[in-house]
Amino acid sequence: MTIQWFPGHMAKARRQVTEKLKLIDIVFELVDARIPVSSRNPMIDEIISSKPRIVLLNKADMADPKATQQWLAYFKEQGIHALPIDAKTGTGMKQIVSMSKEVLKEKFDRLAARGVKPRAIRALIIGIPNVGKSTLINRLAKKNMAKTGDRPGVTTAQQWVKVGKELELLDTPGILWPKFEDELVGLKLATTGAIKDAILNLQEVAFYALGFLGEKYPHRLKERYALEEIPEDRVELFDAVAKKRGCIMSGGWVDYDKTSELLLREIRSEKLGRLSFETTESIQQ
C-alpha cells in the first residue's frame, strides 16, 4: 500500500516514532540495499537523534553484491553500524542480535556495574513503506504477526515480540516517509517497486531505469534483450528493446506502455540479475 503523505500525517508519524523511541535501546533503520540513500527518511538523523542505531540493508539478495560491499565500507567510514540482510529468507538475522550486543555493550556493562539485573535489548524497526519492516518482524519473531497497515495515523497498543532471550522488538514498526519531493528519489523508489505504478508515470520510470541500465549495466541489457550494441540515445534504446520483445502496435509503432511494463517487471523480478540503483560514487557526485 502506498501512503499519500500530507504534513499532518508526517507530523503524526514523527510523533509516534518519538514516543516509541522512549521505550527502546536501539533503532534498526531498514533501508533497501539497492537504493540505500533514496530509501531513507530525509529527517531520520534528527528524529532518532542520539539513539544507537544499526542500518539494515534489506533485500540484499536483489542488490548488486559489489555495490553492497561499497555501501558497507561507506557506512563504516561514517561510524555507522550496518549489515546486509534478506528478511525474506532470513539471511543476517543472527548478526542483528550480535551487532546489537556489540553496539550496546558499554551501556549494558554500565547498568550491570550499577547492579541493574540483565535484561533483553529492546529495539524498534523504522523505515519507509515497502522496505520490508513487516517481513523482518515476522522473520525475527518466527511467526506471522498481523500487518498493521501503512497508515501513519494508526495507533495500537505497544507489544513486545521476543527474539530469543537477548532481544525484544516492538511489534509495530515506525513508518516514516521517503524524500518524495526529489524527482530522482521518486524514480528510484518506483523502479524498485516501493511506489505503486499508478502514482508515477510508468513510461517516465521505465525511461529512467533503461537509461541507468544502459550506462551502468550495458552487458546485462545486451544479454537479456539480445542487443548487439547499446544505442546512446535513450529512445533508440527503448525502441530496440521493444522490437526485440515484440512490443509493436499496428502500423509499426512502438507500444511504450507495454514495453515499460515489461521492463519494470523484469527488473523487479531479477530477470536482469541483481541490480543496485545507487552507488557510493553516484551519491558523492
The annotation places the binding site at 58-61, 130-135, 174
| 34 part of the interface to ligand G4P, by CB under 6 A | no
Beta carbon nearer to ligand G4P, 195 or 240: 195
Stretch that binds ligand G4P, among 39-47, 54-62, 65-73, 219-227 (CB under 6 A): 54-62
Helix (H, G, I), strand (E, B), or coil: what is residue 29? strand
Rule CB under 6 A: choose which of 53, 59, 188, 274 binds ligand G4P. 59
CB of 158 vs ligand G4P, minimal distance in Å: 17
Name which of residues 92 to 151 contact ligand G4P (CB under 6 A): 127, 129-135, 150
| 62 part of the interface to ligand G4P, by CB under 6 A | yes
| Nearest alpha-carbon partner for 278 in 34, 78, 62 | 34
Query: For 130-166, where are the E strands, in sequence order?
Result: 160-163
DSSP 80: -
Any alpha helices (H) in the chain, and if so which ranges? Answer: 7-21, 44-48, 65-77, 93-113, 133-141, 183-191, 202-216, 218-225, 234-244, 256-268, 280-284
Beta carbon nearer to ligand G4P, 59 or 224: 59
Q: How many residues bind ligand G4P (CB under 6 A)?
A: 16
CB of 242 vs ligand G4P, minimal distance in Å: 26
C-alpha angle 88-151-194 in degrees, rounded to nearest 5: 45
d(CA 143, CA 73) in angstroms, rounded, equals 33
Rule CB under 6 A: choose which of 5, 51, 61, 95 binds ligand G4P. 61
Taking CB atoms, the residue at the shortest distance from ligand G4P is: 132
| 88 part of the interface to ligand G4P, by CB under 6 A | yes
Beta bridge partner(s), residue 82: 55
User: CA Rg, the chain, in Å?
Assistant: 21
* Bind-site residues for GTP: 58-61, 130-135, 174
Burial class (CB in 10 A: 0-12, 13-18, 19+), 189: buried
Beta carbon nearer to ligand G4P, 24 or 247: 24
Catalog residues that contact ligand G4P under the rule CB under 6 A. 58-59, 61-62, 86-88, 127, 129-135, 150
